[in-house]
């Protein structure tokens, strides 16, 4: 049988890279219900890491895409009311209320701000140049969008009226000649912009006598707040725009320097009632609230709202999953191969596996000896020999290896806590354990103490089992739609990458099979590949201190992994640490802040501290996409409170330092902690 050829529908592109016609087929409006307040506030800062869908959303709201949708269904725009009505329909449906809009999208990295420093003597001059350039950039896009909008407007009289209003506004805000016509506007503005571009591309050297042309010159004049005034003119003087929200969509705000952010902040602070700025940026990219007026500032909540898309996606799990399902469906439907076979449900395509099945698969093969029993026996021999056989009989459960592991855990806790004289914990005798386990097996859904213990610890116990059977090349299975959604950690791009790699793995592997699904092992390999790619290609290449963050992540992942092997499993599934970063050295703070900025670390609202009166800590969650690298959980469950000095060990410490740290936080003597060698030096037990 010849392998079937097909195009992978999950090809990665950044939001800006899609052509309008591509974007209209793959964008999912299900992102909108996640952030309804985006439309409630005039000015919004939309937080999110790279790949969370911010750019896609801004582009979706832009005129280019509005036009593309309209033209696909209705042809040329001949009636403005019809256009606004139609193009807002999808948003309205997703949001549950009516919002007519026109979006002007601009990416701030298109402004060559890095060249400003060469041409300006101080930051004030740079601010003036930036304001001017920004005005030109947005105005050009704004006016070309308006031209595209009214190009085929059939009501000629109205068309002329709108053109006249726009022209009047341009004349009052710029030095365009009084005799200029509507059709001259774009050329005038583009020439002005080219003049700056030429100036920025020139050297400051006078070689007169050799060069016949004069050096490029330009002055920051002849344009004043055109796009701001144009919004006002349209909304107050042009009937067709009276109820239209004009969104100025600014992407990549975090990429511009702080003194230039101040220029945008000032526009926000002006609180022009007609202007609505929707600004996207990385988390923590809003680094200053200052404005050009030294005694004034932007106040979040008053002048703008801050919406954390990344956080929302991680915490509104069902809505996030619905969004991912819809995106995947659109992707699959866009390729004939999948469409024709009706493979459009990613949940069905990605086979999943229960924790119990995964655990029992670990010991399926004949060659595999029952390692976990051997280890438990060794534990009993070390601590208690009196009722060895009875205890072994109590814990064994051939039907469910996880129940057996839980029984072992309860026995271990009893033995160790009794030896230590710990009184606060509930400890179970062998007969209690046996009775509870039997009842649980009989009525697995009944909310018993054992039920809660099982639910709380089963995944952590599976990780222990995977480690115990590691010598048989057993790996944790990361598979199924729900797991991929959790691994992506709120990043649509990582979910798509997981799907992409999975689909790539099916090539020449007998896909499509009769069941039209992809096995868990191919998914596991894909998850590991994407995770390592993230570590090696994203984390390591972060600007300036990529290597520092890379080793910090390696240390942290290895530390967490070692904690999974805690005999007493005091904190199941550790994936985050609590540390007040102000207690760290400056350079370490910088590493942590940068890791957060690039979403290598994520945060959440801290849980109540264990000790009363303790201040709330800062939370640092390792991005779940890294879970397959370290063979740890992707859930945000187990916290480890680290004082700053121990956090320093993770940030800059050696393997030996981390080994000491593990010994401190894990119930195991130092001598028994071994470190695997090789290029990928991770901790094992």
Interface residues with other proteins (CB under 8 A)? 11-19, 50, 55, 106-107, 109-110, 112, 114-115, 117-118, 137, 140-141, 144, 190, 193-194, 197-198, 200-207, 209-211, 255, 497, 500, 533, 537-538, 540-548, 551, 587-588, 591, 651-652
| Residue 432 to residue 435: CA distance in whole angstroms | 5
Strand order in the sheet with 305-308: 101-107, 245-251, 276-281, 44-47, 305-308
Q: Which is nearer to other proteins, 14 or 452 (CB)?
A: 14
Contacts (Cβ under 8 Å, ≥6 apart) of 467: 564, 565, 631, 684, 685
Closest contact distance (angstroms) between CB of 289 and other proteins is: 25
Q: Which is nearer to other proteins, 25 or 431 (CB)?
A: 25
| CA distance to 559, 565, 619, 658, per residue, from 648 (Å) | 13, 23, 15, 10
Q: Which is nearer to other proteins, 104 or 642 (CB)?
A: 104
Q: Which is nearer to other proteins, 109 or 434 (CB)?
A: 109
Closest contact distance (angstroms) between CB of 544 and other proteins is: 4
Q: Which is nearer to other proteins, 327 or 395 (CB)?
A: 327
Q: Which is nearer to other proteins, 51 or 638 (CB)?
A: 51
How many Cβ atoms from other residues are within 10 Å of residue 463's Cβ? 19
| Residue 212 to residue 218: CA distance in whole angstroms | 18
| Residue 152 to residue 54: CA distance in whole angstroms | 31
Q: Which is nearer to other proteins, 144 or 434 (CB)?
A: 144
DSSP state of 107: E
Closest contact distance (angstroms) between CB of 214 and other proteins is: 12
Closest contact distance (angstroms) between CB of 557 and other proteins is: 16
Contact 458, 355 (CB under 8 A): yes
Closest contact distance (angstroms) between CB of 652 and other proteins is: 6
Q: Per DSSP, what are the bridge partners of residue 350? A: 518
| Residue 683 to residue 426: CA distance in whole angstroms | 31
Closest contact distance (angstroms) between CB of 601 and other proteins is: 17
3-state secondary structure 364-432: CCCCCCCHHHHHHHHHHHHHCCCCHHHHHHHHCCCCCHHHHHHHHHHHHHHHHHHHHCCCCCCCCCHHH
- Both tokens of residue 90? 């999808």
Closest contact distance (angstroms) between CB of 504 and other proteins is: 9
- Both tokens of residue 280? 């996207």
Closest contact distance (angstroms) between CB of 540 and other proteins is: 7
Closest CA to 630 of 437, 454, 467, 399: 467
Q: Which is nearer to other proteins, 15 or 638 (CB)?
A: 15
Phi-psi region of 599 (alpha: psi -120 to 50; beta: other; left: phi over 0): left
Q: Which is nearer to other proteins, 1 or 210 (CB)?
A: 210
Three-state DSSP class for residue 8:
coil
Closest contact distance (angstroms) between CB of 430 and other proteins is: 50
Q: Which is nearer to other proteins, 118 or 154 (CB)?
A: 118
Residue whose entry in the numeric block shows the structure tokens 């199924």? 480
Q: Which is nearer to other proteins, 8 or 448 (CB)?
A: 8
Closest contact distance (angstroms) between CB of 590 and other proteins is: 8
Closest contact distance (angstroms) between CB of 11 and other proteins is: 5
| CA distance to 63, 502, 526, 625, 677, per residue, from 530 (Å) | 34, 10, 6, 8, 23
| CA distance to 351, 354, 369, 380, 466, per residue, from 362 (Å) | 18, 13, 10, 23, 7
| Residue 306 to residue 45: CA distance in whole angstroms | 5
């Amino acid at each position: 049988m010849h392998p079937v050829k097909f195009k992978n529908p999950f090809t990665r592109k950044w939001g800006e890279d899609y052509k309008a016609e591509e974007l209209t087929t793959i964008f999912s409006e299900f992102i909108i219900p996640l952030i309804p307040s985006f439309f409630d506030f005039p000015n919004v800062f939309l937080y999110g890491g790279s790949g969370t869908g911010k750019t896609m959303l801004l582009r979706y709201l832009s005129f280019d895409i509005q036009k593309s949708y309209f033209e696909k269904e209705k042809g040329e725009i001949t009636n403005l009311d019809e256009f606004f009505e139609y193009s807002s329909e999808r948003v309205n449906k997703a949001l549950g209320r009516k919002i007519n809009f026109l979006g002007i999208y601009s990416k701030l990295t298109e402004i060559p701000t890095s060249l400003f420093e060469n041409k300006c003597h101080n930051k004030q001059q740079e601010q003036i140049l930036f304001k001017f350039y920004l005005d030109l950039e947005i105005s050009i896009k704004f006016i070309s969008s308006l031209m595209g909008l009214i190009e085929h407007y059939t009501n000629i009289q109205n068309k002329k009226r709108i053109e006249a209003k726009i022209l009047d506004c341009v004349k009052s805000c710029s030095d365009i000649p009084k005799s200029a016509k509507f059709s001259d506007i774009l050329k005038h503005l583009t020439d002005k912009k080219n003049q700056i571009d030429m100036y920025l591309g020139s050297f400051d050297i006078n070689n007169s006598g050799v060069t016949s042309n004069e050096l490029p010159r330009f002055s920051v004049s002849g344009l004043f707040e055109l796009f701001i005034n144009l919004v006002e003119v349209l909304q107050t003087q042009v009937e067709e725009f009276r109820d239209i929200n004009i969104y100025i969509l600014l992407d990549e705000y975090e990429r511009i320097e702080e003194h230039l952010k101040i220029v945008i902040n000032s526009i926000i602070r002006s609180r022009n009632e007609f202007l609505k700025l929707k600004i996207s940026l990385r988390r923590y990219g809003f680094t200053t609230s200052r404005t050009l007026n030294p005694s004034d500032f932007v106040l979040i909540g008053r002048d703008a709202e801050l919406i954390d898309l990344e956080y929302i996606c991680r915490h509104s799990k069902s809505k996030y999953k619905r969004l991912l399902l819809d995106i995947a469906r659109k992707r699959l439907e866009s390729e004939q191969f999948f469409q024709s076979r009706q493979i459009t449900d990613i949940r069905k395509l990605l086979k999943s596996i229960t924790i119990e099945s995964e655990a029992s698969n670990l010991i399926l093969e004949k060659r595999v000896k029952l390692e976990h029993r051997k280890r438990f026996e060794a534990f009993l021999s070390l601590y208690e020999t009196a009722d060895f056989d009875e205890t072994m009989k109590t814990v064994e459960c051939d039907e469910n290896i996880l129940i057996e592991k839980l029984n072992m855990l309860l026995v271990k806790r009893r033995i160790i806590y009794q030896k230590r004289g710990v009184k606060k914990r509930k400890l179970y005798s062998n007969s209690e354990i046996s009775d509870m386990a039997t009842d649980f097996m009989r009525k697995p859904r009944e909310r018993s103490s054992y039920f809660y213990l099982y639910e709380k610890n089963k995944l952590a116990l599976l990780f222990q089992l995977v480690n115990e059977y590691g010598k048989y090349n057993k790996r944790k299975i990361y598979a199924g739609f729900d797991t991929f959604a959790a691994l992506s950690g709120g990043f649509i791009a990582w979910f798509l990458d997981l799907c992409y790699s999975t689909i790539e793995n099916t090539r020449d592997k007998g896909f499509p099979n009769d069941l039209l699904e992809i096995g868990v092992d191919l998914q596991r390999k894909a998850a590991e590949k994407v995770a390592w790619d993230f570590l090696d290609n994203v984390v390591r290449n972060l600007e300036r201190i990529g290597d520092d963050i890379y080793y910090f992540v390696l240390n942290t992942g290895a530390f967490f992994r070692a904690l999974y092997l805690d005999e007493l499993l005091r904190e199941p599934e550790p994936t985050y640490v609590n540390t007040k970063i102000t207690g760290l050295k400056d350079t370490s703070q910088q590493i942590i802040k940068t890791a957060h900025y690039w979403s290598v670390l994520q945060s959440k609202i801290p849980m109540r501290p264990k000790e009363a009166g303790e201040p709330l800590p800062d939370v640092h969650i390792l991005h779940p996409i890294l879970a397959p690298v370290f063979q740890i959980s992707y859930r945000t469950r187990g916290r480890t409170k680290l004082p700053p000095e121990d956090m320093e060990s993770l940030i800059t410490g050696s393997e030996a330092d981390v080994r000491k740290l593990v010994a401190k936080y894990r119930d195991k003597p130092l001598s028994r902690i071994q470190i695997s060698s090789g290029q990928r030096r991770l901790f094992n037990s």
